[in-house]
Structure 1
Amino acid sequence: MGFQWIAFFIALAVMLVGIAGTLIPALPGLPLIFLAMLVYGVVEGFQAMTPGFLIVALAVVVATQVAEHYARAWGARRFGSGRAGAWGAVIGSLVGLFFMPLGLVLGPFLGAALFELAAGRSGREALRAGVGGLVGVLGSVVVNLVVALGLTGAFVFKVLV
């Protein structure tokens, strides 16, 4: 088996860890997938992993990572939260990273709810905003998973076809 095939299987294994990372927040899923593509490109001389392909893949990863943070705020806003609740969902998500894995769920929920309460909203409105923050996080997880699968599939296609 040639060195290029060994590199391919190592890159694919790293990508599978990246796919898991979209579900396990302690792992940087999409950046890990892109890094595997980039390293494989270096190993194989950028024949299959062309610079153009890698630039597009990087743009997709960056756009998805940015959208992930906005999804938390969007979820809270969609469920009736004000600006305070939207910011609370984002801040709660970041604080929740220190209390994994439960922090992934409780962070945006508590952040949105507590910030809404602090802004003078009723308990019912704050609870609804918290649910919205949670919905935003769960939606971003689904999007990250789909993008991770798509990038991995594109990698396999580019190398094998």
Structure 2
Amino acid sequence: MEILGWILVVALFIVGMAGAIYPILPGVLAIYAAFFVYGFFFSFGDFDVFFWIIQTIILVVLFIADYAVSAWGVKRFGGNRASVVGSTIGLIFGPFIIPAFGLIIGPFAGAVIGELIVGTEYKKALKAGWGAVVGLFTSVVVKVILQAVMIILFVLWLVF
């Protein structure tokens, strides 16, 4: 059972890190779930209240930052609410419509289409689309860093 526990914990960590890049996967929730899997298979006694507070704060920050950083990229490049909504829709559906490049093209196209729908001129719409891509990449970097911190804290908590 011990081996199965570790396999599940590591698999959830892998899914979580992949979710930082591919938005359909649960991301940070998979990493957070790995802590519970460890607790069920081994012991919750290894984690004190401070561990759970830190991890939960990181989880909440990731949820907020995920949307905020993407929206920041769009707004920074002159986009409005329509391009934020469009880029979010593109981020969700892009990978399904264009499997290889949809993760990048989806938010870009969504932001551009969102801007064009509300009557923004084409050049400004393209700029908002570029902002969506910048926001996406910035968001991915933030998620990878914070999720790695969660995993590192988990390991450090077990070692020390």
TM-score using structure 2 length? 0.84
User: What SS class does the counterpart of residue 43 from structure 2 fall into?
Assistant: coil
Distance 2:12 2:84 in 1: 34
Distance 2:85 2:108 in 1: 11
CA shift in 2, pair 1:90/1:10, >3 Å: closer
The CA deviation string for residues 47-83 of structure 1, in whole angstroms up to 9 with x for no partner, is 2123442243133223312321222221111001123
Decide whether the 8 Å contact of 1:18 with 1:27 is kept in 2: yes
1:43 corresponding residue in structure 2: 41
The CA deviation string for residues 76-127 of structure 1, in whole angstroms up to 9 with x for no partner, is 1100112322232223223335434533212211111111112222111010
Structure 1 residues 65-144: aligned runs within 5 Å:
65-96=63-94, 98-99=96-97, 100-144=99-143
Q: Give ranges in structure 2 of 5+ residues lacking alignment.
A: none
User: What SS class does the counterpart of residue 45 from structure 2 fall into?
Assistant: coil
TM-score using structure 1 length? 0.84
Deviates more, 1:39-48 or 1:28-37: 39-48
1:31 corresponding residue in structure 2: 29
Decide whether the 8 Å contact of 1:84 with 1:115 is kept in 2: yes
CA RMSD of aligned residues (A): 2.3
User: What SS class does the counterpart of residue 25 from structure 1 fall into?
Assistant: coil
1:57 corresponding residue in structure 2: 55
Q: Which amino acid aligns with 1:92?
A: G
Deviation at 1:29, TM superposition (A): 2.0
CA shift in 2, pair 1:24/1:89, >3 Å: closer
Q: Give ranges in structure 1 of 5+ residues lacking alignment.
A: none
The CA deviation string for residues 18-59 of structure 1, in whole angstroms up to 9 with x for no partner, is 223323334222111110111212333312123442243133
Q: Which amino acid aligns with 1:74?
A: W
Decide whether the 8 Å contact of 2:79 with 2:125 is kept in 1: yes
Question: Identity rate of aligned residues, in percent?
Answer: 35
Distance 1:121 1:93 in 2: 21
Deviation at 1:8, TM superposition (A): 4.4
Distance 1:51 1:73 in 2: 33
Distance 1:47 1:9 in 2: 20
